[in-house]
Amino acid sequence: MRERGTDLSLILLVRSNRRSPRLLALSARGFLGGFVTPDNYLGFRLANDSFNLAQAHASVLRRLPI
């Protein structure tokens, strides 16, 4: 069972972390990693045997807007 004071201390901790530029940069980097992962997956998928594209062609197709 949680005490009521721990909720307040958690809120204060999150607020103080939001003010830190280093932690904001670290959070942004983790958020942007979610966009890089599908891009890498698509490149490897296009270069796979099922599509059999050259690496140059796969990288051009990855840069096209969807």
Predicted confidence (pLDDT) per residue in 2-46, tens digit: 555 567 787 888 788 778 888 888 877 777 777 777 778 888 888
* Torsion angle in degrees (nearest 10) through CA of 55, 47, 50, 39: -130
User: Tokens 């940069």 appear where?
Assistant: 25
**pLDDT: which is higher, 1 or 21:** 21
Would the pLDDT of 66 be above 70? no
Which has the closest alpha carbon to 62: 51, 48, 49, 46? 46
Structural domain boundaries in the chain = 21-66
Q: Is the pLDDT of residue 49 over 80?
A: yes
pTM greater than 0.85: no
